Chains A and B, each alone.
Chain A
């Protein structure tokens, strides 16, 4: 597996994780705002 593939996989995981975090934060109830 080349370095480019490793970075590519990492970025894919990050993008999906980010989308998940965003949705979770939006619906999270205990905000201070």
Chain B
């Protein structure tokens, strides 16, 4: 592992960023925010166009004759059952974000949109925008990145690296070597920094839940570090067992808790209100999602443009940041499935789940605002981490449901770290599909160290900007490898 220059440079790069974050948090935040804002201000059209094109390409591939091609040899069969496959990819792709944003995101949009229309239309629109951020467009980014990796790895026998498609299609030329090397480096960087930030955010959310549950106020750093320590102990053992055993079990448990929580809130809360919200948002979403993907809010006022940049563009860039990790991971678990089965599974099922999830947790938030006149919008300003727990406090068995939320958040972070360690181990030694345990453990330790650094620096805003910076070049890389896939598919059929 230490003989691998790619890995050493990736380690130096991530270490440098972590160190910079500790020494000069404000400087790092300012630099990242300046560059991210520059790109967002003038390139928003390109980001939205890229995301929409990826969705259109995914839909076209699923229904084209290429859809019959297997991700693997023609006699390969899927390694995981369809249910395990879906829960694993969903847990890796969204996980802790859903628990965090379930109510907080629709309400955040509602607060802005109600300045322009009445409350009821604002709630409807807020739910639509949330579904847009977590729906087909997000999953198309993951799906298509994973598809490229799976196709070239399992069908063409290439190493499971981001650079492999370029070399496979255009040969080992000077530009494919240099662009490919840079792509692999950026992929490792994006994954490591992204997961480090995810650990820190997960820890802060769990901390907020524990404080809410035990009535602690401002517990400080000791609780965060204690949660982090428990988290480290929890993710070491799955790294030592086979992926299929460790990950499938953890993902299934986390998803079962999240699903159970959703059903409980649906049944214990105002079911009629929530079901009406869900059914309305399904129709709204599927009729408006594709045209909305091309919306850039160019002619709106400053408030709307800022809101668009800090939500829609930030989310889309975040999905790109996570694409190398989730894409490679879902590619790894999708061997033996056809392109059609893969694309429809990866895009449609999680999108429906998200619509149900936000339908339940968003609607309960709107119910509390519109019918119970609860102070949830004020809570949104004071402590956004607490919103999920705020909603649960209005329901029966709130201690139990809060505990379940904490447990699910914990498991989602653990599954993310485990699968990220796996993906990084596959990258570093040159695309090994079954990396050795010690390599996975080393990556687990590095990710933990990055997470701890971010917890200690207490600067999630800086982390978000840095992740954005890591993700932006990835938009170009994803488009490049998708072009390689289309070229390879064309030559396979003709």
Q: Please, how many angstroms separate the alpha-carbon atoms of A18 and B479 in the complex?
A: 10
Contact among A18, A25, A32 with B171 in the assembled complex (CB-CB below 8 Å): A32
A8 engages B38 (CB within 8 Å): yes
B170 engages A31 (CB within 8 Å): yes
Q: Please, how many angstroms separate the alpha-carbon atoms of A1 and B479 in the complex?
A: 32
A3-33 interface bits toward B, Cβ cutoff 8 Å, 1 = contact, 0 = none: 0100110011001001000100110000111
Q: Given A11-B42, A15-B43, A26-B487, check contact A32 B170 (CB 8 Å).
A: yes
Cβ of B236 under 8 Å from chain A: no
CB distance from A4 to the nearest CB of B (A): 6
A26 engages B168 (CB within 8 Å): no
Q: Please, how many angstroms separate the alpha-carbon atoms of A8 and B41 in the complex?
A: 9
A22 engages B169 (CB within 8 Å): no
Contact among B39, B480, B488 with A33 in the assembled complex (CB-CB below 8 Å): B488
B472-494 interface bits toward A, Cβ cutoff 8 Å, 1 = contact, 0 = none: 00001001100110111001000
Q: Given A4-B38, A18-B476, check contact A31 B46 (CB 8 Å).
A: no
CB distance from A29 to the nearest CB of B (A): 11
Nearest-CB residue, chain A, relative to B169: A33
CB distance from B420 to the nearest CB of A (A): 28
B38 engages A33 (CB within 8 Å): no
Nearest-CB residue, chain A, relative to B156: A33
B170 engages A22 (CB within 8 Å): no
CB distance from A5 to the nearest CB of B (A): 10
Contact among B39, B483, B484, B487 with A11 in the assembled complex (CB-CB below 8 Å): B39
CB distance from B158 to the nearest CB of A (A): 11
B residues 167-182 touching A (CB-CB < 8 Å): 168-171
Q: Given A22-B480, A25-B170, check contact A33 B42 (CB 8 Å).
A: no
Q: Given A15-B43, A15-B46, check contact A32 B169 (CB 8 Å).
A: yes
Q: Which residues of B contact A12 (CB under 8 A)?
A: 42-43
Q: Which residues of B contact A11 (CB under 8 A)?
A: 38-39, 42-43
Q: Which residues of B contact A15 (CB under 8 A)?
A: 43, 46
B residues 271-293 touching A (CB-CB < 8 Å): none
Q: Please, how many angstroms separate the alpha-carbon atoms of A31 and B276 in the complex?
A: 54
Q: Which residues of B contact A18 (CB under 8 A)?
A: 476, 479
Q: Which residues of A contact B170 (CB under 8 A)?
A: 25, 31-33
A8 engages B42 (CB within 8 Å): yes
A7 engages B38 (CB within 8 Å): yes
Q: Please, how many angstroms separate the alpha-carbon atoms of A12 and B39 in the complex?
A: 10
A26 engages B483 (CB within 8 Å): yes
Q: Which residues of A contact B484 (CB under 8 A)?
A: 33
Q: Which residues of B contact A33 (CB under 8 A)?
A: 168-171, 484, 487-488, 491
Nearest-CB residue, chain A, relative to B35: A7
Q: Please, how many angstroms separate the alpha-carbon atoms of A12 and B169 in the complex?
A: 28
Nearest-CB residue, chain B, relative to A27: B487
Q: Please, how many angstroms separate the alpha-carbon atoms of A22 and B46 in the complex?
A: 14
Q: Which residues of A contact B476 (CB under 8 A)?
A: 18
B221-240 interface bits toward A, Cβ cutoff 8 Å, 1 = contact, 0 = none: 00000000000000000000
Contact among A4, A22, A32 with B483 in the assembled complex (CB-CB below 8 Å): A22
CB distance from B403 to the nearest CB of A (A): 48
CB distance from B487 to the nearest CB of A (A): 6
Q: Which residues of B contact A7 (CB under 8 A)?
A: 38
Q: Given A15-B46, A18-B476, check contact A31 B38 (CB 8 Å).
A: no
B43 engages A31 (CB within 8 Å): no
B20-46 interface bits toward A, Cβ cutoff 8 Å, 1 = contact, 0 = none: 000000000000000000110111001
Q: Please, how many angstroms separate the alpha-carbon atoms of A14 and B413 in the complex?
A: 37
Q: Which residues of A contact B480 (CB under 8 A)?
A: 22
Nearest-CB residue, chain A, relative to B476: A18
Q: Which residues of A contact B168 (CB under 8 A)?
A: 33
Nearest-CB residue, chain A, relative to B491: A33
Q: Which residues of A contact B41 (CB under 8 A)?
A: 8
Q: Given A22-B483, A26-B487, check contact A31 B169 (CB 8 Å).
A: yes
B43 engages A26 (CB within 8 Å): no
Inter-chain pairs besides A11-B43, A12-B43, A22-B479, 8 sampled, C-beta below 8 Å: A7-B38, A8-B41, A11-B38, A15-B46, A22-B480, A26-B486, A31-B170, A33-B171
CB<8 Å pairs between A and B, sample of 7? A11-B38, A12-B42, A22-B483, A25-B170, A31-B491, A33-B168, A33-B170
- Chain A residues within CB distance 8 Å of chain B: 4, 7-8, 11-12, 15, 18, 22, 25-26, 31-33
